[in-house]
Structure 1
Amino acid sequence: MGEVSEPSRLWREELASLVEDTGIRFNGQVIGISTPAFETKKFESESPGNESSESLKDQIKGFAKAWGEMVVGFGRGCKDVVQQTLLTEDSYIVKKTRGPLSEVSERLRFFNQYLPEDRDPLLAWPVIFFVFILALSVLGVNNKYDSSVTMAKKVRLHPPSAARILLPDGRYLAYHDFGVPADRARFSLIIPHGFLFSRLAGIPGIKMSLLEEFGVRLLTYDRPGFGESDPHPDRNLNSSAVDMLNLADAVGIKDQFWILAYSDAAIHAWAALNYIPKRIAGAAMFAPLVNPYDSSMTKEEMSRTWEKWTQRRRFMFYLARRFPKLLNYFYRRTYLSGKHGQIDKWLSLSLEKGDKILIQKPTFEELWQRNVEELIRQGSTKPFVEEAVLQVSYWGFSLVDLQVQKKCSRKGIPWLKFIYGQEKCELTGFLGPIHIWQGMDDLVVPPSVTDYVARILPNATIHKLPDEGHFSYLFLCDDCHRQIFSTLFGSPQDPLGVTDETPSGYD
């Protein structure tokens, strides 16, 4: 190899002075690389041109390493300057932010109970927060990618079609009247809709001929803020029962009526049994949900319920209980995204085989999508958040209050009670029939929930359904609908004559 020019030699010597000893040796003329023994043959067999190229590569790597070390050193120096000038006890920033940060830290201290005992919260939570943000970003990228692969069906906006009543507080309540006319109904059945259904659902797939055969009038309604019903400024389960009562009065139900509830809609049925029991003839419930945080549940009952749910569903329940405002983000990306999605994905459900087959049927998909389109008509996440919070909050009563109990009392001075004769006793709780149908393979509201209800309400009649899931019995099943009506109303009877005086309650 020829002589190396003076500028080139000087440049290489200066570069060598910036890096550590990396095996590069300078002899004033050429650059050699000290290599391990096992690489000697390789370099001997290569041409001089290849040797020069390899040497330059190592030089660049050494320079990059030195540059990286300088950057790290510079960063540490900046950190020390900040700590010694801006973050001291006497600095302006610390004086101004110490109070607010201490208050926020105190309020969020309960989070520390979720950390292992050997973890410093000051170090652990920033890491957790960073991972959480990173996970949300990944989910967002995945959702965007999925939507580009599978063309999701867009939500359609339908013209208003509901009948509405004006409530005493000035709100309008939308309802759907189906079945035999009011003056011919032997039984009136009111149905509050489930979380992602509307007044259009009712008993999914119920035939008009069956309603005629049993003389049933079926009424469904949109809960406040859903569909075509006005929102309630401060709704709770008491107001839910009052809305149901006002609907019954407005449509001419003068006597008792039955109530049918499915899954999470059961909380509104429980409320009706507690707040307006004298107007309820009886209740039919299907996989009824209860408050999963109810204090009357044993640890075993609670564990058997939670273990069936997906991690995402548990997380959504936790958010509803602790940070309900964060639910807005998830609801905007699912129900209110403007596109349709699968019910199991949107509700984070685990489904058994029968349910998976059912939700893939075109009839179910059409029913589900039409109900979602009606439900989100107002474009607000508020009613969804309210509903989620109601499920996991204190209801204002407990299921224990619905137990049929004998309550006796005497008036007068306690130690002279024997003078006043026998005590006056009365039955308290809900005195009508309660029928509960539970699929034994249900993973959405597992059988353990119904076992808990049966323990609290021993007078309830439990119908266990082997090989049935969450949707497979009530939805689109003609034989099942007939079995349900036969259980509730007995043998089929023709609708009443116009002049017949038989009431619309139960005999």
Structure 2
Amino acid sequence: MSWKIIVVLLIGFLAWAHQAFRPPPPRICGSLGGPPITAPRIKLRDGRYLAYKEHGVPKQTAKYKIVIVHGYTGSRHDASFAASALVEEFGIYFVSFDRPGYGESDPDPNRTIKSTALDIEELGEQLQLGARFYVIGISMGGQVVWGCLKYIPHRLDGAALIAPVINYWWSGFPANLSTEAYNQQHWQDQWALRVAHYTPWLVYWWNTQKWFPSSSVTAGKPNLLAPDLKIVSKLAERMTRREYASQQGVFESLHRDMMVGFGLWEFDPMDLKNPLPSSEGSVHLWHGVEDGMVPVSLQRYIAQKLPWVQYHEIPDAGHLFAYADDGIIDSILKTLLTGDK
């Protein structure tokens, strides 16, 4: 084969690789050809817009104010806690928001765990939630709550992590424990997480190519055990919102979530000291024993390492227990806000 043919083939390969590995630009809401803006939004410190949605009692009369942080493929419309029977009785105001790149919130190409925590602080300031408020993070949103505990504890009255996603590369985990938990994941998810951690520049290609199975969660086929399978049939409306969640593009929403969540963190949650030592607030972590997506063994270890986290383990519950209609939401809110179980 002549050198000219080799050069042509190399150029062709590089052109293909550039196109395949490089994600398309996001379809910014309100831009030409982009999705319409339908949500109320605030303008953040760097010029980005953050979309939000209010629930519960009026903010002006609320006794408790809570910011809800949605999970992977979710959006500001995910606010199952606002359906609690305690909302009126306790006087609870909720605000949920589209995390950067999701729904109608502008993408943040520099997104980190810290930057989203600061977005929440600014949301609280612009909506005048007061000096302190509560945060509840569900699944991937739980990682954002760890960021709030690290970077804005002075703004928190309390926090709840609901089936929070963990990062297998947090240094605080014993190697044998994290490896055992990692190996419980489907093999395609193990590869997807490796790509997100070690070669984030390949995340878009890995999750859009057709040669190998990509992340099961991204593909909408997560590893759900029996308790979750009973719930998922009731979540038809939420599943239709998945398209809304990634309407600006899957890279700046889902794929960047993987890159941030499973990448190299700037801190390890297990190194945190009690962020609320002098207040009446508390930090809670709820997890289901039958969670097929996030191994319960790792949550048990975190609770052991952080005695200031009040750990609540739910037997016969999976990853989606926050969407079950069995009173668990009422119990979580009552425990978080009053300390009663």
Q: Decide: shared fold, TM above 0.5.
A: yes
1:286 equivalent among 162, 169, 174: 162
- Match in the other structure for 2:223: 350
Residues 400 and 481 (structure 1), Cα distance of their counterparts in 2 relative to 1, 3 Å cut? closer
1:468 aligned onto 2:317: yes
Q: Give 3-state SS (helix, strand or coil) of 1:176's partner.
A: strand
Question: Which of residues 477, 487, 492 in structure 1 aligns to 2:335?
Answer: 487
Is 1:453 the equivalent of 2:293? Answer: no
Distance, in Å, in 2 between the alignment partners of 1:476 and 1:435 is 19
Partner deviation per Cα, 1:221-278 (whole Å, 9 max, x = no partner) = 1111111111123121221111000000111111211111112211110001100111
Q: How many residues align?
A: 309
Instruction: Call closer, same or farther: CA 1:318–1:487 in 2, change over 3 Å.
Output: same
1:261 maps to amino acid: G
CA deviation vs aligned residue, 1:350-408 (integer Å, no higher than 9, x gap) = 2211111221x2x31222222x1221121352332221111122221121332239xxx
Residues 1:234 and 2:83 aligned together: no
Matches of 1:237 and 1:319, distance apart in 2:
19
CA contact (8 A) 2:111 2:260 kept: no
Could you say which residue in structure 1 is the equivalent of 2:29? none
Instruction: Give the 3-state SS of the residue equivalent to 2:248 in structure 1.
Output: coil
Q: How does 1:69-218 map to 2 (within 5 A)?
A: 160-203=37-80, 206-207=82-83, 209-218=85-94
- For residues 282 and 433 of structure 1, the distance between their equivalents in structure 2, rounded to whole angstroms, comes to 5
| Highest RCO, 1 vs 2 (Cα 8 Å, sep ≥ 6) | 2
Decide whether aligned partners of structure 1 residues 272 and 230 sit closer, same or farther in structure 2, where only a CA change above 3 A counts.
same
What is the SS of the residue equivalent to 1:255? coil
State the alpha-carbon separation in 2 of the partners of residues 210 and 305 from structure 1: 36
Q: Does the 8 A contact of 1:274 with 1:401 survive in 2?
A: no
CA displacement 1:142-187 (0-9 Å, x = unmatched): xxxxxxxxxxxxxxx9854211011122111100111111111111
2:292 corresponds, among 433, 443, 451, to 443
Identity of aligned residues (%): 30
Indicate which of 247, 264, 275 corresponds to 2:123: 247
One-letter amino acid matched to 2:165:
L
Provide TM-score, normalisation by structure 1.
Answer: 0.56
The residue that corresponds to 2:16 in the other structure is none
Instruction: Give the drift of 1:432.
Output: 4.2
Q: Is the 8 A contact 1:309 1:349 kept in 2?
A: no
Tell me what 2:14 maps to.
Answer: none
User: Displacement, 1:476?
Assistant: 3.6
Offset of residue 344 of structure 1: 5.7
Q: Which runs of 4+ in 1 moved over 4 A?
A: 330-334, 427-432
RMSD between aligned residues: 2.9
Seen in structure 2, the aligned counterparts of structure 1 residues 217 and 431 have a Cα distance that, compared at 3 Å, is: closer
2:125 counterpart SS class: helix
How far, CA to CA, are the matches of 1:451 and 1:441 in structure 2?
13
Shift of residue 332 of structure 1?
4.2
Structure 2 vs 1, CA of residues 353 and 208 (structure 1 numbering), >3 Å: closer, same or farther?
closer
Give how far 1:445 is off.
0.8
CA distance in 2, matches of 1:446, 1:430: 31
Deviation at 1:317, TM superposition (A): 0.1
Distance 1:386 1:488, change over 3 A: same
CA contact (8 A) 1:324 1:385 kept: no
Mapped partners of 1:159, 1:428: distance in 2: 44
Question: Which structure shows the bigger proportion of residues in helix conformation?
Answer: 1
